[in-house]
Structure 1
Amino acid sequence: MYIIPERLIADLVSAEDAFDAMRGCFAAMADGDAYNFPVIREALGEGRQYGFKSGFDRAGAVMGVKSGGYFPGNAARSLINHQSCVLLFDPETGRPTAMVGGNLLTALRTAAASALSIDQLARPDAQVLGMVGAGHQSAFQLRAALRVRKFTRVLGWNRNPDRLSRLAEVCAEAGVEFTPVDLAAMQEADVIITITSSNAASLLADHVSAGCHISAMGTDTIGKQEIDPALFARAAVFTDEVAQSVTIGEAQHAVAQGLIGREDITPLGAVVTGAAEGRVSPDQITIFDGTGVGLQDLAVAQTALSRARAQGLGAEVVF
C-alpha cells in the first residue's frame, strides 16, 4: 500500500492532468463503465460537514472512497476549510492500494470539472467571465477557466469584498482585466462561476443574460443554494450525476418547486461522448450543476498514485 501525503500532490498532478482525468471520468460514467455509490454526508454543527463519496470505475480498474468535509473554523488554525483524503482499493481483491492526500486534489478536480463544462457548453466567443465567490477554491476555478477560454475581462463579487484580492492577483498574473462589481453587473458576463458555501441564492434570474453559461460549483449538500431556481426553468441543465444533482446539488431547489424534473437534466459526460447535445444556440442559457462525485476524486487520486510509483515518491508500507 502506498502512502502519498498532501505535500507531494502538487508535484504529481497538474491542472492539465486534472482536466484530462475529468474528461475521462465523465465519459466513463456516460458509457456506463463507471458509477458512484450513494453519498454519506452529515452536518456536525457550527457549519462543519463530514462525509464519504465513493465509486467504481470498471474500465479503469479503480475503486475507492474519499473521506472528508468542510470545517469553517480551520482558518483560525492556519488550515484550509476543506480537509480530505482518498483511499484506493484493488477492485479484484478489495485490498487497499493507496492512501492519498485529498485537499489539493479536490480543488483541482472541482475546478477541472467546471472548466470542462465551460469547454463543452460556453459560447466559443465568450470573453467576459463572472466570478461569484472568492474563497480558497475560487482561484483554482479562475485559473482553470482561463485555460479553456480566452477571457479578456473578469468580474468579481464576494459577500466580503476584501477577499476579492485573491481573484485580482490571479488576473494580474494572467494579464486579464479584473473589475469588482455588484451582482447586477453579472449581466455583462458570458460565463459565470458560482463557488460559495451559501444557503440562500445570490445569483438571481435578472443577473443573467441570454447566452450565458453558468458553472454552479458550490452546492453539494441539502439546503445549500447559490442560484435562483427560476434560472433553471429558462436554461438547458447539465450535471456530473443526475442523482446527486436533484438531491444535494443546485438543482434540488428547482426540482422541489416543480420547475424542472430529473428528466430535464443531462449528464455532461453524454455531451463529452457525443451521445447528447450541448449548447444549441448562441442565446441559450446553460447551467452545469457541479455536485462533485466520488469518481472524480478517484480519477485524480489514481493519477497521483501512478505518478508516485513511476517517480519513486511516497512511502510503500505492508498493510
Structure 2
Amino acid sequence: MTAHPTATDHAQASLLLLDTHQVSALLQPQDVLRAVHEAFTLHSQRAGRVFPVVREALPTGGVFGIKSGDVPAQGLLGFKAAGFWPANRAQGGEPHQATVLLIDPATGRPLCMLDGNAITTERTGAAGALGLQQLARPDSARLCLFGTGVQARVQLRFALRVLPQLTSVRYLTHDGRQRPDFEAQFKDLCEVIHRTDANAAVAESDVLITATPGGGALFDAAAVRPGTHINAVGTDTRGKRELPEGLLKRVRVFVDDTAQARSLGEAQWAAPDLPCTELGDVLTGQAPVVPRGAQDITVFDMTGLALQDLTVARMLHTQALARGLGTAIAWPW
C-alpha cells in the first residue's frame, strides 16, 4: 500500500538550499562525467524528456532562459533559470547567472534549490569531454582554444583529462592580448601559447574548442585541416555563431539535441536537412560512429541539455542530504 503524506508531513516540509560554495565543494569531475553521461543516455533512450527552451532578450540588456525536463521513471523533474547579463561586469559580478530547482513530480512542491553557475560550468565541460572521447582522434596532441573565460577553462581542463596525448594549447582572445593568469593556470599541464592569427592557429591544431559569446565567425573554413575535431560551445541562442559559413556542409555534425541545435546552435545557420547525429545515440550504440577517415572533420554542436542540469543537481542533492550540508528552510504546503 502506498503511504500518503499526512497533514503533519505537509506542515513540516522543507526546501534545501545549496549555495555556490556548497555546490562547488561537492562537484567532482568524475561524478559530473557520470551524471552527464546518464543524461545523454536518458535522452537517447527517450526515458528523459527535454521541454521547449525559453531564451529571450530583456530590455535590461540581458538574456533570460529556462531549460526544463523530467525523467518520469526516476521521479526527476525540474528546471534551470539562467541567462547572461553583461552589465554585471561593471559591478564586479559574474554575467552568467543560473539557478536550478528540483521539484517533486508527485506533488509539485520544491525539493532543492541550487546555485546553477558551477553546475552549468562543470556539466558543459563534462559534455565537451564526452564529445572529445567519442569524436576526436585519440592521438590529438595540439588544441586551439578560442576564449579564456570560465567556460573556456573548464573545457580545457576536461580536455586534458580525456585526451592523453594533448601536450600543446594555442589560445586566442577577443582583444588579441595575452592572459598571464590563464597561462599560469595550465602551464604545468601543457605547453600554452598565445596566438593572434586565428587561421594559422586553427591550421596547426588537431582539436578546436570555441568558447566565446558567439559574436561571429572566429576563423575561415579553409583553415580547418582534414582530421580536425571541433567542440562548438558558445552558440546557444538565436543569432549567435562561432563557426564560419560553409563549414558545416562539409563535416560530420554531432549534436546534443537535434531540434535544439537547429534552433539555437551552430546548426541554425545550416540547411534544414543538414544530417545531425545526437551524441547520446553514439554513447548508447544506437548510432555507431563510422570509423574516422583521414580526411574527416567532425563538429560537436553543444547547446546544453536540461537533463544534464537535472542529473547533476540530483547527484548534488543526494550527496548534500547524506552529508548534512545545505540550509533547510520551512516550506509547508
Pairwise TM-score range, normalised by the shorter structure? over 0.9
Conserved 8 A contact 1:156-1:167: no
Letter of the 1:162 partner, please give it: R
Letter of the 2:241 partner, please give it: Q
Matching residue of 1:131: 145
State the distance in 2 between where 1:312 and 1:146 align. Answer: 33
Q: Name the SS for the 2:102 alignment partner.
A: strand
Between structure 1 and structure 2, the one with the greater Rg is 2
Conserved 8 A contact 2:178-2:194: no
Q: Establish whether residue 162 from structure 1 lines up as the match of residue 162 from structure 2.
A: no
Match of residue 253, structure 1, among 254, 269, 272: 269
- What's the offset of the Cα at 1:71? 0.9
Q: Establish whether residue 294 from structure 1 lines up as the match of residue 306 from structure 2.
A: yes
Q: Name the SS for the 2:83 alignment partner.
A: strand
- What's the offset of the Cα at 1:204? 2.3
State the distance in 2 between where 1:209 and 1:164 align. Answer: 27
Alignment of 1:259-298 (within 5 A): 261-262=273-274, 264-278=275-289, 280-281=291-292, 282-298=294-310
Q: Establish whether residue 75 from structure 1 lines up as the match of residue 86 from structure 2.
A: no
Match of residue 41, structure 1, among 55, 61, 82: 55
Over aligned residues, Cα RMSD in angstroms? 1.5
After superposition, the Cα gap between the structure-2 partners of 1:265 and 1:152, relative to the gap in structure 1 and judged at 3 Å, is same
- What's the offset of the Cα at 1:73? 1.6
Gaps of 5+ in 1: none
Q: TM (normalized to structure 2)? A: 0.90
Gaps of 5+ in 2: 1-14
- What's the offset of the Cα at 1:163? 5.6
Matching residue of 1:171: 186
Deviation string 1:96-147 (CA, Å, 9 cap, x unpaired) is: 1110110111110111111110011101111111101122211111101110
State the distance in 1 between where 2:306 and 2:63 align. Answer: 16
Q: TM (normalized to structure 1)? A: 0.94
- What's the offset of the Cα at 1:279? 5.3
- What's the offset of the Cα at 1:82? 0.5
State the distance in 2 between where 1:239 and 1:115 align. Answer: 14
Q: Name the SS for the 2:170 alignment partner.
A: strand
Match of residue 241, structure 2, among 225, 229, 249: 225
- What's the offset of the Cα at 1:78? 1.9
Conserved 8 A contact 1:80-1:136: no
Runs of 4+ in 1 over 6 A off after TM superposition: none
Q: Name the SS for the 1:107 alignment partner.
A: helix
Alignment of 1:24-173 (within 5 A): 24-45=38-59, 47-150=61-164, 151-162=166-177, 164-173=179-188
Matching residue of 2:33: 19
How many residue pairs align between the two structures? 313
State the distance in 1 between where 2:61 and 2:289 align. Answer: 36
Letter of the 2:327 partner, please give it: A
Q: Name the SS for the 2:300 alignment partner.
A: strand
